[in-house]
Amino acid sequence: MSGHVVMPQGLPPPLAPYSPGMKAGNHLYTSGMLALDHAGQLVGGDDAAVQTRQVLENIRGIVEAAGGKMSDIVFNSIWLKTMDDYAKMNAIYAEYFPSNPPARACVRADLVKPQFLVEIASVAYID
């Protein structure tokens, strides 16, 4: 089975050679999304809550372009620049996954550029 690229309108341009989303059968995989707007500009500055919201909106765009919804996400990988932002990220994250939240992992890591505070990659199963 081969996959096909999911590249919704309004998504920021990739920072490197990758596809924002890849759908293979009923599975959708997103690349790690950052807090970038449609023009590739940082959203949220040093506010992890604002960055988290932008990241999840970017993921929503990919999931919906593939025919799914946020409740179809079954796993998220989350990277935080500092665990000091864990509570802020969780507050926004809970708004997007209010019931039956997906499985996830969350770790502290250096992100691709120092201004990024949150990165999330998702796996969805779209029936």
Query: How many helices (H) and strands (E) would you count in the chain?
Result: 2, 6
Asked if residues 63 and 92 have their Cβ atoms less than 8 Å apart, the reply is no
Query: What is the helix (H) or strand (E) element at residue 41, kind and residue range?
Result: none
Q: Which of 15, 106, 121, 126 is catalytic?
A: 106
Residue 124 is a catalytic residue: no
User: Could you tell me whether strands 73-80 and 103-108 are parallel, antiparallel, or unpaired per DSSP bridges?
Assistant: parallel
Active site residues: 106
